[in-house]
Amino acid sequence: MFRLDKHSICPKPRIAGLAIALSLLTAASAFAGVVDKKSALGGYDGFVERMGAGTRELGRGNTGSADTSAMPGAYWNPAILGFRQNFTYTLNAERRSLDRMGGSLGLETSVGNRMGIGFAMLYRGDIDFDVINEDDQTLGTATPFFSMMYLGFSYRATRRDAFGISLSLGYDNMDIAEYYDGVELVDGFTSPVALNFGWLRQWNEKWSSSVVIRNISFSRNLSARWTRTPSTDNSVAVTEGVRPKVLQIGLGYRSRVFGKPVYAWMEALDYQIADTLLVFDPQHHVWTGRVGFECEIIPDGTIRIGMDGLDAMFGLGYKFYVRIGKKKYLFDVNYALTYESTAGLFNPLSVGVRGFIP
């Protein structure tokens, strides 16, 4: 059975007939009374953003909302953009087990002395997705993919405080329409624009904190939900897409141990899976947490560990400079390994580079 959960796109499923194929397009309904919280959060709408972005951040438990140097800032916390001083970039790619792939791109820069702007794109997909009909015949392969794009703006109100807002847009393409004769399926779906709000405060040299509110829309009850029409001839039932509202609270701590810089990052996330402005019933909430640590064990060389829920992460990073003419360009190269405990899968290939142009 095909399933998209918090961190996975299941490989090479057998799609037995149109009914199962169309189940790929059906998000778990989170808006009908008391719901199965795991299935609601496991719906694929929004799973891209739950996987995070950035190899550096992945290696320390997928944490980044309270770090002024986290990238792409438009995704992690748009308030981060207010602390930018140069044009910065990040490019990340990963190849997970079961033929899964992903990556992210971020571009951001300062605007004047107190403002910043940034763009981010997150991408996840399946490389070799077998399409098999109800007669157990292989029709071919598909390459479904899912993406999220962010455009963020920030204003630094004080030397230590910044506020930000980002616009997010999702797009997914199942790449299966060509295998179904007589049914005019639609492969691609675009979500409406949603809003994300962020605040970040650098209290002192050691402590920082953040609050991010995700997936607020212009619709009723501010819920990020929309209608999907899977076929152009209306021969297939209309379904709904939904991304739950998210409250994300982050905390960062910086210190030195035996003369080595050490950092700790913590995040608590609350997913509200109810079509209402605010609900206090715990049956309509899913809570999870992230924690990460990193230490600069050698000059410009960092080792990282972390947990995202029950999934374990390990990371390495190294910074170096390349002089071109009279300018020095920073290259921050990072690597991450992920262990998905619920599926028992190791993902040893996540790499990324980030830097700035002076």
Two tokens, residue 5? 């959960």
pLDDT confidence of residue 41: 54
Number of neighbouring beta carbons within 10 Å of residue 196: 23
Spatial separation of the C-alpha atoms in residues 228 and 230, rounded to whole Å: 6
Q: Are 163 and 154 in contact (CB under 8 A)?
A: yes
- Partners of 88 in beta bridges: 108, 356
Two tokens, residue 189? 């779906």
Spatial separation of the C-alpha atoms in residues 175 and 253, rounded to whole Å: 44
Cα within 13 Å of Cα(131), Cβ side = 19
Two tokens, residue 208? 């920082």
Two tokens, residue 294? 């990193």
Q: DSSP string spanning 200-246? A: EEE-SSSEEEEEEEEEE-SSGGGBEEEEE--BTTS-S--EEEEE-EE
What are residue 63's phi and psi, to 5 degrees?
-110, 140
Q: What is the pLDDT along the chain (358 residues), one digit of tens a residue?
A: 333 333 333 333 333 333 334 343 333 333 333 345 544 454 556 778 888 899 999 999 999 999 999 999 999 999 999 999 989 999 999 998 888 899 999 999 999 889 999 999 999 988 877 777 777 778 788 888 899 999 999 999 999 999 999 999 998 888 877 777 777 777 788 888 999 999 999 999 999 999 999 999 988 888 888 777 777 777 677 777 788 899 999 999 999 998 899 999 999 999 988 888 888 888 889 899 999 999 999 999 999 999 999 999 999 999 998 888 788 888 999 999 999 998 899 999 999 999 988 7
What global pTM score does this model have? 0.85
Spatial separation of the C-alpha atoms in residues 56 and 350, rounded to whole Å: 9
Instruction: Domains for the chain: give ranges and CATH numbers.
Output: 4-357 (2.40.160.40)
What are residue 236's phi and psi, to 5 degrees?
-115, 140
pLDDT confidence of residue 8: 34
pLDDT confidence of residue 291: 97
Helix (H) or strand (E) holding 356: strand 345-357
pLDDT confidence of residue 329: 84
